[in-house]
Amino acid sequence: MTLEEIAKKMCAKGKGILAADESTGTIAKRFKSINVENTEKNRLFFRQTLFNSQAMKNYIGGVILFDETIKQKSTLGPTIPELISDNDVIPGIKVDKGAKPLAGSLDETVTEGLDGLRERLKEYYGLGARFTKWRAVYKIANKFPSSQSIKSNAHALARYAALVQEAKMVPIVEPEVLMDGNHDIDMCYKVTTNVLNECYNELTIQKVDLKGTVLKPNMIIPGTESKKKSNSEEIAKKTLECLKKNVPSDVPGIAFLSGGQTEIEASENLNEINKINDTNFLITFSYGRGLQASALKAFGKDQKDHSSIQKAFDHRAKMNSLSSKGEWSKNLEEVAA
């Protein structure tokens, strides 16, 4: 498959990307919230239960893995990448080393991980990965994000993407403008516009073939502490407008992150975007919490109850699949409940 074909398969109509790439530290927090011990065995068991579900065949186009997970063998026999591929889903891998303090602007971060990346990509390709992910983080506050933060992260994202395409994999480019803060929806729009413009300037400089990439952006949403709330129709309108103005048409797929949204909010907002999507972009989901929160609760209740864990995951994946086609409704949530 060409890089463009892989990108389109990851974001195919009715399918999206499962972000199961939580670091050991992040999943520790998730497990703590459900009183489950953070062991390698428990991490493997939770993830393979999702990867072996019916939803994988029907609603998932790709899965982003963490370094530990891509190297694991499932208790079912195949390796984790094989288990995913057997469902005709594309395995991927998070390759950044996390957001670190940005020298000169220590209240902001720059994502690291370029050192040794070429060698790591060869290893991941050999393990079965066909796409990768790198996340840059921008916060909105008084003078932030600074131009230093916007430029530094865009440069790193572009260099990462070039190396990934050299290694015959599709880079997911994830510039996340955080929801934290009291900013309104218009400020989110303005900052996201600046961030996307700089990213695509740098991607062009680094000679990245945009047809073989997937964008993983934030939606245009007011800050969590904003006094001015926005409904899903306004969020959808502003988000689509921002994408149309700032994302080159060569990009085949846009897979949103769920950020600080609840499962229902993430489905509702994605649905509204697709109801008015008049572009050629495949617009779908690349959710972590937005796909796994209910399954995680079920795992906390009874780790051996595969069917309840998978039922929760299957439902959430189906709801987001409908949202990626503009066919979701709150009634469908209530019927399932």
Residues with catalytic roles: 174, 216
**How many secondary structure helices (H) and strands (E) does the chain include?**
14, 10
- Whether 295 contacts 312, CB under 8 Å: yes
How far is the CA of 91 from the CAs of 83, 86, 125, 154, in angstroms?
A: 9, 10, 10, 25
- Whether 205 contacts 245, CB under 8 Å: no
Contacts of 41 (CB under 8 A, 6+ apart): none
**Rounded to an integer, what distance in angstroms lies between the CA atom of residue 163 and that of residue 77?**
32
**Rounded to an integer, what distance in angstroms lies between the CA atom of residue 159 and that of residue 325?**
33
- The tokens describing 231, both together, are 């409904």
- The tokens describing 259, both together, are 């950020």
Q: Which amino acid is at 162?
A: A
Query: How many residues would you count in the chain?
Result: 337
Which DSSP category does 279 fall into? S
**Rounded to an integer, what distance in angstroms lies between the CA atom of residue 43 and that of residue 231?**
36
- Please provide the DSSP assignment of 226-275 as one string: -SS---HHHHHHHHHHHHHHHS-TT--EEEE--TT--HHHHHHHHHHHHH
